[in-house]
Structure 1
Amino acid sequence: MTNVLALVGSLRAASINRKLAEAAAHHAPEGIELTTFDGIVELPFYNEDIDGDTPPAAAVEFRAAIDAADALLLITPEYNGTIPAVLKNALDWASRPFGASPLSGKPLAVIGSAFGQYGGVWAHDDARKAAGIAGAKVLEDVKVAIPQSVVRFAETHPREDAEVTQLVQGALSALAEAADEEPTAA
């Protein structure tokens, strides 16, 4: 079983990206279990002064969830041309301690949907960049950007969309394959 941890960049309960996470969990291929971690909203803004011997409980829980996962799936909209602050903050917490973080070497893919005509590609590019610098093994070839989300999903849930189903299954399969690969010797 491959355990994939999803982080959703939108905090809104009815967000299309939250629904996209639900679709991914619902349609996960056999042998893959996807769990969404909602606790990123509890993380304080990253500050090295509070990340010492006794980091905040929310950070400890978050890092443990990443450590227990085989791979991560970031599902994000685009806010003002980039990733939401809550997701960037989560990546900052996940990246520490530098070089020995639970994110280090962990397969990670970025997908999402946005209202605009490009589906949030700038945010996805920025999320991949930040996650890679933070130490994740970013799957650069996994690109799922679903445009016109408000219109496309006005009357249907993403899990009922055949194209979405195929796209999320492909992303999850790629993560599972990357998680199964032996780490390369440095």
Structure 2
Amino acid sequence: MSVRILALVGSLRAGSHNRQLAEAAVKFAPEGAEVHLFEGLAEIPFYNEDIDVEGSVPAAAAKLREAAQGAQAFLLFSPEYNGTIPAVLKNAIDWLSRPFGAGAFTGKPVAVVGTAFGQYGGVWAQDEARKAVGIAGGKVIEDIKLAIPGSVTRFAETHPADDAEVAAQLTEVVARLHGHADETLAA
């Protein structure tokens, strides 16, 4: 059986380096793992219990939940906006945290990686994303980390998939997350 890893990208920008990282993760997925890049985070309304009612959940949120329910693991890509997690990624985490105690993340392995322009590569945002998804029930794999600094210059003329160092690191991230998903499924 193949392990399905759902990738969520916290940047909506067309030329997003985090999106490019996610595309590279799809490309470098090891045999037995399928990384699926979720499209449509921009269409999901901000989480509000008043609209999270069975039978009338907004279509975009229902699509996210359906994709997440079919995943055995999650790989989140987070840039850093003003020192923290982007709203679009936090919103996805909020939608996937419900219903309380039985959200789509519950018990599933999650890794958070990313790139940012700053000298630390977005570690504050990635730490915030790990915290939020852990509270949402995800099994955060704390030792799987990849924070790539200087994204604007490093990837100015090179796609992350064509950067040998990044390709090797990202391949390792996906392989290790795949291993954790296999262990979770076997338990």
Indicate the TM-score class for this superposition, using the shorter chain for normalisation.
over 0.9
Distance 2:164 2:3 in 1: 23
Partner of 1:108: 110
Q: Deviations over 1:21-53 (max 9, x none)?
A: 111111111221111101111110000011012
Q: Percent identity?
A: 63
Gaps of 5+ in 1: none
Give the letter aligned to residue 8 of structure 1. Answer: V
1:45-73 deviation digits (Å, cap 9, x = unpaired): 00001101221111111111001011110
2:172 to 161, 170, 173: 170
How far did residue 148 of structure 1 move?
0.3
Q: Report what 1:7 is aligned to.
A: 8
User: Residue 99 of structure 1 corresponds to which residue in structure 2?
Assistant: 101
In structure 1, the residue matched to 2:74 is 72
- Is the partner of 1:50 in helix, strand or coil? coil
Unaligned runs of 5+ in 2: none
SS in 2 for 1:48: coil
Partner Cα distance (2:136, 2:43) in 1? 20
Q: Secondary structure at the match of 1:78?
A: coil
Distance 2:29 2:13 in 1: 23
C-alpha distance in structure 1 between counterparts of 2:77 and 2:15, whole Å: 14
In the comparison of the two structures, how many residue pairs are matched?
185
**Aligned residue in 2 for 1:81:** 83
Q: Supply the RMSD in Å over aligned alpha carbons.
A: 1.3
User: What whole-Å deviation, never above 9, does each CA across 1:75-94 have from its counterpart, x for those lacking one?
Assistant: 11000000100000010000
CA distance in 1, matches of 2:153, 2:111: 25
Rounded to whole Å, the distance in 2 between the matches of 1:112 and 1:182 is 24
Local SS of the residue matching 1:181: helix
